[in-house]
Chain A
Amino acid sequence: MKSVKNHLSLIVALVSILFSIQVFVIVDRSIDAYKEKLSKNYSIVVVSQKRIKNSDFLLIDKLIDEIEILSPDNVIRRLNSDLNRANMELLKLSLPKFYKLKLKKYPTPQEIKKLRANLLQNRYISKVEDFSNSHDTIYKLLVLFKNVVLVFAVVVSIVTMLLILKELRIWQFKHNERMSIMGLFGAPTWLRSAVLFRLSLVDAIISSAIIFVIFAYISSSSWVLKEFNNININIVIFDPTGDFIKLFGISVALSIILASMIVLGHKEEV
């Protein structure tokens, strides 16, 4: 029972760390997906005195993805419907050209500033409307949300690591006697610590398996899927191979570090 309790404390600690890491990964993926969705709706309007070729626009900044010319017909129609066709064509020619630029990704405020500066360097472009106020607010909100989750994950990991260090002392006390006795009979270090590494590895496997079950359930839960559908986001919540391998690797690495610390801190007692 005592042994199960000792195992449980390391397993719970590892599960907490793995859980917070995967939650951060899910939030990161959601934000990236949301940014992509925003970038599809986000565009910059450029006013130019002369027509600019699409290829020239693409040379101005590598963020520019698509260029759409805005038709002045609606504006002219609203100005005066009494104009004859010839005058209307003349007016059209004298009006500046309006372009709507779509971007490859949702830009950062710095990227927008740079893009604006690059566009205004062109001698024909007289005005750039980047809707930076609303863009900045949304972008900052997303970054804030991501950072809050990151801080939460880091805090959970630190607290859990402190718990693991406390556990380490118990393990050190528990395994020190066995390792010392084996040492008195000439056991090499690898043999003395084999039990410890085996136990740590078993705990790492159990923790990873628990995390696999939790996230396999979450990723197939209708409630979770509905919530993501509500905000029109389609992401991989948990990749049973890629994500699992990463989490398993982290779990094994942490357990091995823990076991190594015990082995390095071992002092032979006679």
Chain B
Amino acid sequence: MDKVIVAKDVSLSYKADETIINQANFSINSGSFVFITGASGSGKSTLLKSLFGAIKLKQGSLVVGGVELGNVSRSKLNFLRRHIGIVFQDYKLIKEWTIEKNIMMPLIINGYEKSVTLNQVESLLKHVRLKHQAGKYPLELSGGEQQRVAMARALSHNPILILADEPTGNLDEYSSELIWNLLEGANTQLGTTVIVVTHHIPASLSIDYKHFHIEYGSINEIS
């Protein structure tokens, strides 16, 4: 099976005199569903950020989707990010754009045709049950609805990899279930690799998954 992520001796830090992740070695197969857990401040989000090149490596080699992130150029990083869907805990929606335009954004960046873009957005809005809110702005929606928009945006361009940072952290039960269903669907139906950083693995999940736990800077796989 193809490896979508290969990490060798990866160390991560924000300051020179501290290390958050220390010489981590792991790999993730294409099409797998992965959970990363750990206590607050253990480095879960830092590790996730390193996977889309938002944090530079202190040491080691990290290959994501065939791109070595060690000394990656801006154009290569952009290329990689165009094939990744990211979901943040704080949604990161563009406030001055409508819901429809927010979902459309990765498709525009990837240069999709307008007709394809419109069809895809319409279908995704149906999936996240927000078709009636298409013309609204993010701040007019509830937190759960905003996260569903962020989810639709992450799925819009059929990425090879979805990275989700505590996607259901602050959500109600209905929105949480919808988000997990969408992530599960992307993994099982489209074969997308999904990596989720979370405090709690939902009990209702019906798929096989891999579980990494971070403790004291080291990453351990839990079987």
CA A201 – CA B108 in complex, angstroms?
22
Interface SS majority for chain A: helix
A186 touches B81 (CB 8 A): yes
**A182 is contacted by which of B52, B83, B109 (Cβ under 8 Å)?**
B109
Chain A residues near B97 (CB, 8 Å)?
Answer: 178
Q: Say yes or no: A187 contacts B78, CB within 8 Å.
A: yes
Would B78 and A178 count as touching, CB distance under 8 A? no
Nearest CB of chain B from residue A47's CB, rounded to whole Å: 79
* Contacting pair A185 B109 (CB below 8 A): yes
Q: A181 on the interface (CB 8 Å rule)?
A: yes
Question: A181 — which chain B residues lie within 8 A by C-beta?
Answer: 92-94, 105
A270 within 8 A of B: yes
In whole angstroms, what is the CA distance A184 to B82 when docked?
A: 8
Do B52 and A184 have beta carbons less than 8 Å apart? yes
- Find out whether the CB atom of A270 lies under 8 angstroms from the CB atom of B81: no
Q: Say yes or no for A66: interface residue by CB 8 A criterion.
A: no
Residues of chain B in range 106-129 having any CB-CB distance to chain A below 8 Å: 106, 108-110
Q: List 28 A-B contacts (CB under 8 A).
A: A3-B96, A177-B94, A181-B93, A181-B94, A182-B94, A182-B109, A183-B78, A183-B81, A184-B86, A185-B81, A185-B82, A185-B86, A185-B106, A185-B109, A186-B77, A186-B79, A186-B80, A186-B81, A186-B83, A186-B84, A186-B106, A186-B110, A187-B78, A188-B78, A189-B74, A191-B109, A270-B49, A270-B54
Q: Let me know if A61 is at the binding interface, CB within 8 A.
A: no
Structural contact, A178 and B106, CB atoms closer than 8 A? no
Is A73 close to B, CB under 8 A?
no
- The answer on a CB contact under 8 Å between B109 and A187 is yes
Q: 0/1 per residue, A156-200, Cβ < 8 Å to B?
A: 000000000000000000000110011111111101000000000
Q: How long is the Cα–Cα vector from A188 to B74 in the complex, in angstroms? A: 9
Q: Is A184 within 8 A of B105, CB to CB?
A: no
Q: CA A6 – CA B35 in complex, angstroms?
A: 44
**Interface set, chain B 69-109, CB cutoff 8 A to A:** 74-75, 77-84, 86, 92-97, 105-106, 108-109
Question: Bound complex: CA of A67 vs CA of B92, how far in Å?
Answer: 82
Nearest-CB residue, chain B, relative to A180: B92
B residues near A (Cβ < 8 Å) are 49, 52, 54-55, 74-75, 77-84, 86, 92-97, 105-106, 108-110
Q: Which of A182, A183, A184 has the most B CB atoms < 10 Å from its CB?
A: A184
Closest to B105 in A: A185
> A268: CB under 8 A from chain B?
yes
Per the CB 8 Å criterion, the residue count for chain A at the interface is: 15
Q: Distance in Å from the Cβ of B65 to the closest Cβ of chain A?
A: 12
Chain A proximity of B10: nearest CB distance (Å): 18
Are B79 and A182 within 8 A (Cβ)? no
Please, how many angstroms separate the alpha-carbon atoms of A215 and B71 in the complex? 56
B110: chain A residues within 8 A (beta carbon): 186
Q: Which of A184, A186, A187 contacts B54 (CB 8 A)?
A: A184
Query: Which residues A129-166 have CB closer than 8 A to chain B?
Result: none
Cα separation A155 to B206 with both chains bound (whole Å)? 71
Instruction: Count chain A CB atoms within 10 A of each CB in B75, B97, B105 and give the residue with the most.
Output: B105
Which 10 pairs, one residue from A and one from B, show the smallest C-beta to C-beta distance? A186-B81, A186-B82, A270-B54, A186-B78, A187-B109, A185-B106, A178-B94, A181-B92, A185-B109, A181-B94
CB-CB under 8 A from A189, the residues of chain B are: 74
Question: A237-270 vs B: 1/0 string, CB under 8 Å?
Answer: 0000000000000000000000000000000101
Q: Give the docked Cα–Cα distance between A184 and B48 (Å).
A: 13
**CA separation between A60 and B74, bound complex, in Å?**
69
User: Roughly how many angstroms separate A184 CA and B163 CA in the complex, as a whole number?
Assistant: 12
Closest chain B CB from A236 CB (angstroms): 44
Residues of B within 8 A of A183 (CB): 78, 81
Residues of chain B with a CB closer than 8 A to A185's CB: 81-82, 86, 105-106, 109
Task: Give complex CA distance A183, B95 in Å.
Answer: 16
Complex alpha-carbon distance, A270 and B50, angstroms: 11
Query: What string of 1s and 0s marks CB contacts (under 8 Å) between A3-27 and chain B?
Result: 1000000000000000000000000
Docked pose: A178 CA to B94 CA in angstroms: 6
